[in-house]
Structures are given as structure tokens and as C-alpha cells.
Amino acid sequence: MRGMHDLGGLEAGRCERDEHEYEQWEKRVDALMMLLSARDRDLMKVDELRRNIESLGADAYDRMGYYERWMHSIAQTLIQRGVITIDELGRKLAEQEARDGRG
Amino acid sequence: MSAATSDTAGYYRRMQAAVEELLILKGIVTPEDVQRQVDAMDARNYKRGAKMVARAWSDPAYQARMLANGSAAAEELGLEVGPLKLIVVENTPGVHNVIVCTLCSCYPRMLLGIPPEWYKSRAYRSRVVREPRAVLAEFGTRLPEDVDIRVHDSTADMRYMVLPLRPRGTDGWDEERLAALVTRDSLIGVARLPDQG
Amino acid sequence: MGAAESVPARFRVGDRVRVRGADPPGHLRTPWYCRGHVGTIERLCGAFANPEELAYNRPGLPAQPLYRVRFQATELWPDYREHARDVVEIEIFQHWLERAAE
């Protein structure tokens, strides 16, 4: 079966010449990917990142932005690798929410 | 569960901050590491590719080396590209090259920085391998009838940059002036460079 | 990379090859649109660890030869109307390729 990311040759709409000024958090997602996949650290392979993005499901492209998919995937990979636990992440996220005043 | 936790707006921003904090606490990265990486990527843009193009137009021997080994040619000009495996594809009067990654968004980031949003879009990735001229037309680019198109799908370890045709009317121009003509879109292949004068 | 860690290259520039029509699950870097199609070896890029294995944090060795394969657009798309000499060039790992009948 064609993966939902495997787009070559499919019908699609007009190419909109979208440009995007990246927010700080998006740049930091990119930075985390670079740091974690660097040869001397090897805590994540780009291929694991891609596989986890591909596993998101067909509507991920519509539901989620580019760096949202990356961030989901980085977290998934680190959990799979045992670098962080789901519980640790959940607690840190709750702290972040509290800081944002939304908790 | 509150509505806030299922709302993605801000959720992934918070996740980035949470993961970064955990990695710092575990001694895996430092805050300086992350900032340095952000700054390094900010410093990479299409002008680094433009420098290579200007040199290639000015020096046929450099052009030959660049077409044989793009990464070595970048490093020759002091452009650090790390593990990038760059292939430069040459536009000629009879051939026009276009770059895409249909499977995700592979791009020569270590040379040119982060790709434009449209390069990662469903529309571009789906259509440029199938109807390149229609896609180019949407970018305002129309090719003469006798020009063949080569679409390069960056599916594995190689990354690509187009060597655009040198515009007419630029004889004797120095490299700085030539480099200023080169656009990001011409390095991806959705644009050509206009003749001068 | 040591000889033991990479598979020898089977194909040369100019060879006609067919992309296997395999359809396994998992992380694949051989796009759907070229499966089953015939192209020509344009160059050998080198040998690289298999991304299908790297995706599961396995070493992906021995390294597989990676080729750029040139496909005529009219071969890939039966209704291709744009231009008879247009091509699409795709990086494909050796284990996805078989020799095509001349």
C-alpha cells in the first residue's frame, strides 16, 4: 500500500508559493533534530524520525503543521529509545502548561 | 482531561520546551548547544549556493569539480557542509533541472538552510514529478519547446542543487555581481534567471 | 567502509533495470510511482546503510549500493503529454532493482 507520505504522482491542487517565517519554537525543534542525530550523539536517526512521522496517519498532513509532526516524532523516538519516559514527558508538559497559565 | 491538553495550538511548542528541558536535565544537551544550532541554521541560506554558482560560471575547472563532487566544491570555498552529499545538476540550453523530495522534504540544508514552505507541500511533491511544466508555470516559469526537463527526486542520501544557466549580458562581471543574480528558486529549479541588458 | 560491510555493486551506468513491485510495510524510500517500472542506471552514488533498517535503530549493514535511475516520463506516466524526452531521476537502493530484459 502506498504510504500516506508517498505523494509522487498523486492529484493535488495549485502550488501556492507559501513562505513561512519560522517561530522560535519551530527553529528549536529543528535544532533538537540536528543535535540528537549528530554522529557523535546518535540518539535519533533521521530515518526513525521519518518512520514516526509516516506512522502518524493519513490526516496528519491536514491536522498538523510541519514542525508539529517533527516534534511529535522526536518525542516518540526518544521514548522508543528509552532516553525519556512517557511519565517524565507528561510531567514536564504539565509544568509547561502551568507556566503558560493554562493548567 | 481538560480541553487545553487536547488543543494542539501551543501543545507542540510546549512539548519542544519540555523535551529540551529533559534533555538538559539529563546532560544530553546544553541550552547553548540548542542556541548555537539555531544560529547556525539561521546563517545558512541560498547565498552560499549562489557563491558556488558564481564561481562555476567564472571558472570552468571549478565547475567541472563541482559537477563531479558538490560537497568538496562547497568546502573548497570555505562553505562548511558537514555530512552533506551534494550533487549539482547543470542546466544547459537543452536541459532544465528541477529538484523535489516526494517522500518528505529532503533538501541540501547544510548548504542552503531550511527549504521554503511550498517545497514541503502536498501540491509540489505530488505534481512536479508528474506535470513539471504545469508546476513551473505556476511559479511563472515557461520553458522553450526544445528544452527537456529532468526532475530529481531526492529519495535517499544525496541532496541536489541546480546550476542555473548563466544569464546573457553578464560578460566580464565579477563573482560578487554574478552571485547577486542567483535566486533561491533558481537553485531548486522552479525559476530561471533573466538575461541582463 | 570495509569490504565486508557493503554489498558489491551489481549494476553499471547504462544498465536497464526494473524496480521490483514489492509492497512491504515499514519505512521505505522507493517511491510508489516507480515500482514495476524500467529505467537506466545514471550513476552509482556509493554504498549506504539501509534506511529501512535504520528506521528501527538497526545498523542497516551491510551497506547497499545506491544508484540514480533515470526513467522516461512517458514510461512512468502512461498519459504523459508534456514532452517526450523529459525524465525523472530517482535514487534507488540495489536490493529494489533487478536487471530488465533488453
| pLDDT tens profile B2-20 | 333 345 669 999 999 999 9
Whether the per-residue pLDDT at A102 is higher than 90: the answer is: no
Q: Which residue on chain C is closest to A1 by alpha carbon?
A: C23
pLDDT digits (tens, 9 = 90+) for B69-94: 999 999 999 999 999 999 999 999 99
Under an 8 A CB cutoff, do A47 and C33 touch? Answer: no
pLDDT digits (tens, 9 = 90+) for B87-121: 999 999 999 999 999 999 999 999 999 999 999 99
For residues B106 and B87, give the distance between their C-alpha atoms in angstroms, rounded to a whole number: 13
Chain A positions in Cβ-Cβ contact with residue C23 (cut-off 8 Å): 1
Reading the block at residue B92, the C-alpha cell is: 544547459
H-helix or E-strand spanning residue B177:
helix B175-179
Q: Specify the pLDDT at position C4.
A: 62
Q: Are B17 and B11 in contact (CB under 8 A)?
A: no
Q: Specify the pLDDT at position B8.
A: 67
Q: Specify the pLDDT at position B7.
A: 55
Neighbouring chains to C with at least 3 Cβ pairs closer than 8 Å: A, B
Confidence of residue A43 (pLDDT cuts 50, 70, 90): very high
Say whether B45 sits in a helix, a strand or coil: coil
Measure Cα distances from B113 to A69, B29, B51, B55, B96 in Å: 19, 22, 14, 20, 23
Strands B159-163 and B86-90: parallel
Q: What is the 3-state secondary structure of chain C?
A: CCHHHECCCCCCCCCEEEECCCCCCCCCCCCHHHCCCEEEEEEEEEEECCHHHHCCCCCCCCEEEEEEEEEEHHHHCCCCCCCCCCEEEEEEEHHHEEECCC
pLDDT digits (tens, 9 = 90+) for B139-191: 999 999 899 999 999 999 999 999 999 999 999 999 999 999 999 999 999 99
Single out the residue of C24, C30, C26, A26 nearest to residue B120, CA to CA: A26
Q: Find residues 5-44 of chain B whose CB sits inside 8 Å of chain A.
A: 5, 8, 10-23, 26, 28-29, 33-35, 37-38, 41-42
Q: Specify the pLDDT at position B2.
A: 36
Q: Show which residues on chain A lie within 8 Å of chain C, measured between beta carbons.
A: 1-3, 6, 8-9, 45-48, 50-51, 54, 80-81
Lowest mean pLDDT, pick from B62-71, B128-137, B169-178, C81-90: C81-90
How much is the pTM?
A: 0.95
